[in-house]
Chain A
Amino acid sequence: AQTVTQSQPEMSVQEAETVTLSCTYDTSENNYYLFWYKQPPSRQMILVIRQEAYKQQNATENRFSVNFQKAAKSFSLKISDSQLGDTAMYFCAFALHDMRFGAGTRLTVKP
């Protein structure tokens, strides 16, 4: 079974700085999807970014980008120019037939 590991339970960053959240996963499959979801205090699950494993180019969405290292099974999220509204729990997820999540990283952006 696929597993997803987020090794940083909590992180903090100063407003306007850059922060990177780590994620590793384990699979023997070749084609799959990877995601980062954001969960603010409202608890809504919000899709931040998606990466298809067959695409070598790293996905980007405005201030959010990923570093996808397929061979290393690593999928980190970089948040540039951090904003107070980025304060949330962030979940890394792997999807093949269904979606599996890491334990989450709680990110706090400090003013």
Chain B
Amino acid sequence: EAQVTQNPRYLITVTGKKLTVTCSQNMNHEYMSWYRQDPGLGLRQIYYSMNVEVTDKGDVPEGYKVSRKEKRNFPLILESPSPNQTSLYFCASSTTGGTNYGYTFGSGTRLTVV
């Protein structure tokens, strides 16, 4: 089954404790992206990657890091989480165009930083 696998689904952590949210896709998509979803703001892009070893900042990159060492994986790293990073996070992947263009989303990670 074609999918984006995101883990964990729920995470509660303390301020300053480094964490990683994993994302993996099995569709050989070039493009991967991370979003955070907050009430009244929709989904805002954190980082994206056009291909292996190619990453770039989205609209809200502060406090986050990413890496793309393999095509299928695109982890999101919070090196020193703060309470304002409490949010719902989504990983997504896509082709770069075509008739069936569209994002496939992971199931989301609900992160709470206390």
A residues near B, CB below 8 A?
A: 4, 6, 9, 33, 35, 43-45, 47, 50, 91, 95, 98-104
Contacts and interface: CB of A to CB of B under 8 A. Distances in A.
B112 interface: no
Contacts of A44: 105, 107-108
A98 B42 contact: no
Nearest to B90: A45
Given A45-B90, A104-B42, A99 B107 contact: no
Secondary structure call for the B interface:
strand
B27 interface: no
B42 A50 contact: no
Contacts of B58: 98
Interface in B31-53: 31, 33, 35, 40-45, 48
A4 B41 CA distance: 11
A59 to B, nearest CB: 12
Interface hub of A4, A47, A99 (most chain B Cβ within 10 A):
A99
A2 B96 CA distance: 18
Nearest to B99: A52
Contacts of A6: 42
B18 to A, nearest CB: 25
Given A33-B101, A44-B107, A44-B108, A98 B43 contact: no
